Amino acid sequence: MSANDNDIAIVAFAQTPSYAHFNNSEPEMIMPLVNDVIGQTGLDRHDIDFTIAGSCDYLSGLPFAFVMNIDAVGAWPPVYESHVEMDGAFAMFEGFVRLKCGDIDTALVSGSGKSSPGSPRIFTALQSDPYVMAPLGVDHVSLGAIQARMLLEAGTVTEEELGAIAVRCREAGAKNPYAQITDALSLEDYLAQPLYNAPLRQADIAPTSDGAAALILARGKKAYDLCDNPVWIRAVDHRMESHHPGLRDLTTSVSTRTAAGKVGLHDGPVDIAELNTLFTHEEVILCEALGLGDGTKINPSGGPLVGNPTMAVGLTRVIEVARAIQNGEARRGVAHCSSGSALQQNLLVVLEGDK
């Protein structure tokens, strides 16, 4: 296959394990990944045309906390740098669009976060409507529980079906060297768990993880100069819905369905789907919205339910699909990333290999 000048590919990627707690600083978490992906391509650090990172100052409670992470990519001589206060997958989208402008050839993308020092249930409540919901402390787990209850009462899913998703993800996580949770789980074990936030059990909820991920994008023929087997980004789309949960139907995901149409998801086979499922019931919603059938492997890595590095979990979904394609386990796949509670924002990336 020959590359068009404006085609964009992933030419290198790396990720940390999902840590329950990473003892050192965030730059110390990112720097080995940056060195790794640069080493994979043989690029000099100063050959990177654009640097873009995704992280969240809420995690550390410091204004402009992301600035210290620039130390991990090498801030001198000055780098052409940007930042999004979102997951690294959204940073990748910006890098993709920047490369599409055609005047640069490479971009370094990273996503990172340390959730363990604080409480995600506190800071996610701060992201909700400031007049009605934030004063009530309505966090992402509470909204997830409301969403799960609506699905159960609508008859869309059963507790046993949610348990089967949790069991399958644990089995996959046991084979994933980057997973945080690798303990075995049977359906009987799942049903015996007490309710954590009714109707959700602990196994229904992604853990709190520290972690980071990084990748390098290259444009056109430059991708073949840097990698023998590039993974091409065929389409990206980001859609969002109201952040007022009462203004949308929580049992479905209109934004995901719309994005699937925009990226032409079903213009070809979908061998693998890595979905940003922070709860078991979100897999049910996303598979329906994406129209995924039995021929698609869903979260073969175990997904976020076995490792959830905040601000890197979406970028990790992209990496998991890219890895499967490079390893010959899939030819075409989709990575999904969400932001906001109850799947409020959704981003899809369609990836394809040469072989």
Contact 86, 339 (CB under 8 A): yes
- Residue 298: the pLDDT is 98
CB atoms within 10 A of CB 354: 16
Q: What are phi and psi of 138, to 5 degrees?
A: -75, 105
SS3 145: helix
Average pLDDT over residues 324-328: 97
Is pLDDT above 70 for 210?
yes
97 or 79: which leads in pLDDT: 97
Per-residue confidence band for 46, with pLDDT thresholds at 50, 70 and 90? confident
- Residue 3: the pLDDT is 66
- Residue 43: the pLDDT is 94
Contact 334, 227 (CB under 8 A): no
Structure tokens at 75: 């801030």
Structure tokens at 39: 């080493």
Query: Model confidence over 217-257: pLDDT tens digits?
Result: 999 999 999 999 999 999 999 999 998 898 999 999 999 99
Query: Model confidence over 100-154: pLDDT tens digits?
Result: 999 999 999 999 999 888 888 887 888 788 888 888 888 999 999 999 999 999 9
Average pLDDT over residues 160-189: 97
Closest listed residue to residue 278, CA positions, set 324, 213, 346, 330: 346
* CA atoms in the 13 A half-sphere facing the CB of 218: 25
What pTM was computed for the model?
0.95
Nearest-angstrom CA–CA distance, 125 and 99: 35
Query: Model confidence over 286-321: pLDDT tens digits?
Result: 999 999 989 999 999 999 999 999 999 999 999 999
Structure tokens at 315: 């970028």
Structure tokens at 5: 């000048």
Contact 271, 333 (CB under 8 A): yes
Q: What are phi and psi of 44, to 5 degrees?
A: -80, 145
Q: What is the bridge-based pairing of β-strands 8-15 and 210-219?
A: antiparallel
Q: What's the whole-number average pLDDT of the chain?
A: 93
Nearest-angstrom CA–CA distance, 301 and 295: 16
- Residue 77: the pLDDT is 60
Contact 215, 109 (CB under 8 A): yes
Strand order in the sheet with 272-274: 81-84, 50-54, 106-114, 210-219, 8-15, 231-240, 345-353, 332-339, 272-274, 297-298
Contact 165, 283 (CB under 8 A): yes
Kindly give, in sequence order, each residue whose CB lies less than 8 Å from that of residue 236, ignoring residues fewer than 6 positions away.
93, 96, 263, 347, 348, 349, 350
Helix residue spans in the chain (DSSP H): 26-41, 57-60, 88-100, 120-126, 140-154, 159-173, 187-192, 222-226, 254-262, 280-290, 313-326
CB atoms within 10 A of CB 80: 12
Per-residue confidence band for 196, with pLDDT thresholds at 50, 70 and 90? very high
Is pLDDT above 50 for 1?
no
Contact 334, 286 (CB under 8 A): no
Is pLDDT above 70 for 75?
no
Average pLDDT over residues 167-195: 97
- Residue 180: the pLDDT is 98
- Residue 78: the pLDDT is 63
Closest listed residue to residue 290, CA positions, set 317, 270, 304, 320: 270
- Residue 31: the pLDDT is 95
- Residue 76: the pLDDT is 58
With a pLDDT cut of 90, the percent of the chain lying above it is 79
DSSP secondary structure letter of residue 155: T
Structure tokens at 80: 């052409």
Is pLDDT above 50 for 2?
no
Is pLDDT above 80 for 64?
no
- Residue 30: the pLDDT is 95
Structure tokens at 95: 């890098």
149 burial via Cβ count (<10 Å: 0-12, 13-18, 19+): middle
81 or 296: which leads in pLDDT: 296
95 or 126: which leads in pLDDT: 95
Kindly give, in sequence order, each residue whose CB lies less than 8 Å from that of residue 309, ignoring residues fewer than 6 positions away.
16, 18, 19, 112, 113, 115, 209, 210, 211, 212, 213, 316
